[in-house]
Structures are given as C-alpha cells and as structure tokens.
Structure 1
Amino acid sequence: MKQFDDRDRAVLHRIIRARRDIRHFRPDPIPSEALTRILEAAHYAPSVGFKQPWNFILIRSKEIRKQIKGLFEEANREELEKLSEDERLDLYRSLKLEGIMEAPLNLAVTCDRDRDAPFQLGQGQMPEMDLYSTCLAVQNLWLSARTEGIGVGWVSILDPEKTAQVLKIPDHVRLVAYLCIGYPVEFRDRPMLEEAGWKERLNLSDLVFEDGWGDKNEG
C-alpha cells in the first residue's frame, strides 16, 4: 500500500484547516462528477462492524426546502428565547446560521439503526457507535467538498423529528445531519463564529490528559 510523504501530510492538514461551515452560497449548480466524488468520499468513511449505516437524501425541491426553512425559523425562535437581553442576544441575532434556500443543494445524512440487525458487530456495549460512524461520513464528505471548492453548512437548529417527517424518514432511521451544499461566496480565513467573537479556539494543551481525566503530562 502507498506510503505518504511530507507533502501529502501537508496537503491533508491544509485541507483540514481550510474547512469552513458555509452560510453564504452562490447559485451555481454542483457538477454531477464532483457530487459523485463527494458522496464516494463519505461512503469510504470507517464504520462500526463495517455496517455502513448511512443514506444520503439529495434535496433540490424548493417546496421541501421551504418547509425545512420554516422548521429552522421555528427552532431559532426557541433558541433566541434562551438568551437574555444583552450583547450575546444581539450577536446571536446578527449571525447567519443557515443557507437552506440559497444553496443549490440540501443533503440529509441518515443512520439506519436496524442495518445488520439483529447482531451488530461492535455495538453491544456502545450502541451509539453507528451514529458516530455516520458523523465520520459527514466529515469525509465535508473535506472532500472543500477540495472541490464546494462549501458545506451543517444546520443543527432543526427539530429532528419534524424534519424526519418532512423527508419521510422511517422510524428506525435517525437523521444525523442536514447540510447545505454549494459554491460559497467565499472561504473565510477563520471560522465565522470565531471572527464574530462568539468563541475563540481553545488551547489544545488544555484539552489533552494522560492516563486519566484531568491528569496532565507536566514533562
């Protein structure tokens, strides 16, 4: 199997650091060849028991997206009510948190929790591993899209059950991610929430423990 050199490693880390959560999209359609490459990258993600629990729902219908947009607005009002009248509330209101109607493509990533039942290898003690596996597919998709110059925005301010109803997702299948995909107006140098002052990137050294929670290597 191919070994990777310093240039390969540098490219990989550059792609990881260049990934952004995109909210502003151009209307240009995504070429079918690029979309296929992106979905194939997602499908090559690792999965518990090689379960490959994911499905991908491509959403181009304006009518369906209007319904999803309505669910976002409903959920967003609930989130606003959790903040008091202060600068944090004003900052939240100023953030653009979705691109549902602007993006040329929406994509729902699901996890089929019954796939490979009744014996699901690797899930006996950690049954949520299939959900984590599906998140790995999302990450693969996101990084692959970035290499194509295509942006992805994850919309998490949605009621998952209501969204599943709109998309006719069966009860045994879990919605994991609702994504907006398209060519961005721009890729910013820093994440939007960092630029807006919502939060700074945490210091990695504060997050690494050794041999147990809270134990830090002082050497």
Structure 2
Amino acid sequence: MLHQTEPCDVLEAMARRHSVREFRPDPVPDAMLLALLEAAHQAPSANNHQPWEFVLVRRPETKAALAAATSGRNAQVVQTAGASVVCLASLRQADALADRIEAQVKAGQAPPEREAMVKRLREDQLHRQMLVLPNTYTAVGFMLLAATKFGLATLWMTGFDGEKVKEAVGVPADDYLFAGVVAVGHAAEGWTQPPRNRRPLEEIYYFEQFGRREP
C-alpha cells in the first residue's frame, strides 16, 4: 500500500498512521511544522504542567549534527526528511509545578498534605523523570496524528545518544530529558508501506477484572 497523503479526520489518522522510513527531501513549510507543534501543545498533562519542548531541525548542518548522534537508517532519515523535531521533557516544569503547589499550600488553596508532593517533585529524581517523560510522549502522539491528518509522513525514533542530541541543538544538559526525534516530510516515491501488524483487539482488554473476557 502506498503511503496516503490526502487529509483525513482524526479517527482515520489513527488508523492510517505508519512509520515511514524513506523520505524525499522536499522542505516542510514552517507554518505546517508550527501547526504540528500546536497539536502537540493540546495534549493532556498531569497537573497541567506541560513539560514538552521541541527543537525544529531543517538546516543541513544541524541535520548532520543530529545524524552523528545515531547510526544506520536513523542517520539517513534525519538527513533526508524535510525536517526533524527533537522532543524534550523539561525537568524545569517539574520544578515549576512544585513552586505552584507550594504557593497554593501557603495561600490556603491546597491542603498541607500536598507539601509531601512538593518534596517529592524537588528531590525524587526518578519521580521527576516519570512525571515529565510520559506526558511528553503523549504530546508526541498528538503530533504524529496531526501530521497524518495533514498528509505528512513521520517516523518517531528513539535510537539516539540523547546527550549528543542535546549537545547538537544546544539544550541545557541537566534540565531536559531526551524524548526522541520525529522525522517529518513526504514519503519517498515508490515507498511501500508494509502491512500493519497489530495484536487482535480481544487480546488487549478485559471487563472489570484482569483476565475476564465476558462483559
């Protein structure tokens, strides 16, 4: 099946979205890239802390620096696709959330017990990571669906040296976690999408209790 490029509604985008691994080098207009980021910005997040931030990569020299942080097909993809989006999870937003909750407690707008949450947000590094990363991944999913809706091809890639990626695009090392790279553009001429392989739907859900198949 050839990759389809006509616009579609969101439910169709969910069914149509595939990982495209061969791109043609046509540029993606900045307005279109910003529309994808606006879609990502609508994603839900715990306590509305919105930890996602993105770096758009379009210039050949930046693409080359990004490619140097990975290998194999990923390196080829980021140099060929019209653009790539470096996806970041901001630990600063965990700090901002802690500040907000602390202010609410002091103002009597939140119960004193929430001070424990503030302490955990500030001191528990694993908790901080597990807060910002899943919320950022949700935003990435929104971006992928929007790209499909707009008729663009994408590939979400995580097989990079995250520290090298951050260095390549000037990200403060200690304040952000690497959450992947999304290549965005147009599928190469003749790109054939392999059949989608998904587990049967009835294998992935239960009623009321794990293992219960009957309603």
For the superposition of Structure 1 and Structure 2, which TM-score range results when normalised by the shorter chain?
0.7 to 0.9
CA distance in 2, matches of 1:175, 1:155: 11
Aligned to 2:107: none
Aligned to 1:114: 92
**1:41-52 residue pairs with structure 2 within 5 A?**
41-52=39-50
Residues 1:165 and 2:167 are matched in the alignment:
yes
Please list the CA deviations of residues 77-117 of structure 1 after superposition, one character each: whole Å capped at 9, or x if unmatched. Answer: xxxxxxxxxxxxxxxxxxx5561111111110111112114
**TM-score (normalizing by structure 2):** 0.73
3-state SS of the aligned residue for 2:77? coil
**1:35-114 residue pairs with structure 2 within 5 A?**
35-73=33-71, 96-97=73-74, 99-114=77-92
Please list the CA deviations of residues 143-170 of structure 1 after superposition, one character each: whole Å capped at 9, or x if unmatched. Answer: 1111111111112211222222222222
For residues 177 and 187 of structure 1, do their structure 2 counterparts lie closer, same or farther at Cα, with a shift above 3 Å needed? farther
Residues 1:32 and 2:35 are matched in the alignment:
no
For residues 18 and 168 of structure 1, do their structure 2 counterparts lie closer, same or farther at Cα, with a shift above 3 Å needed? same
3-state SS of the aligned residue for 1:179? strand
3-state SS of the aligned residue for 1:21? coil
Structure 2 alignment gaps of length 5 or more: 1-7, 102-113, 121-126
CA distance in 2, matches of 1:65, 1:15: 27
Following TM superposition, by how much is the alpha carbon of 1:57 offset from its aligned partner in structure 2, in angstroms?
0.3
Following TM superposition, by how much is the alpha carbon of 1:72 offset from its aligned partner in structure 2, in angstroms?
1.6
- How many residue pairs get aligned? The number is 182
Query: Which deviates more from structure 2 when the two are superposed, residues 96-105 or residues 51-60?
Result: 96-105
For residues 17 and 61 of structure 1, do their structure 2 counterparts lie closer, same or farther at Cα, with a shift above 3 Å needed? same
**TM-score (normalizing by structure 1):** 0.71
Aligned to 1:143: 145
For the 8 Å contact 1:20–1:187, the answer to whether it is kept is no
For the 8 Å contact 1:20–1:188, the answer to whether it is kept is no
CA distance in 1, matches of 2:163, 2:152: 28
Aligned to 2:105: none
CA distance in 2, matches of 1:134, 1:176: 7
For the 8 Å contact 2:91–2:176, the answer to whether it is kept is yes
3-state SS of the aligned residue for 2:171? coil
Residue identity opposite 1:164 in structure 2: K
Percent of aligned pairs with the same residue?
A: 24
Residue identity opposite 1:139 in structure 2: G
Structure 1 alignment gaps of length 5 or more: 1-9, 77-95
CA distance in 2, matches of 1:30, 1:67: 19
Residues 1:13 and 2:11 are matched in the alignment:
yes
For residues 30 and 50 of structure 1, do their structure 2 counterparts lie closer, same or farther at Cα, with a shift above 3 Å needed? same
| Structure number with higher helix proportion | 2
Residue identity opposite 1:118 in structure 2: A
3-state SS of the aligned residue for 1:71? coil
Pick from 198, 202, 206 the counterpart of residue 203 of structure 2: 206
CA distance in 1, matches of 2:171, 2:150: 29
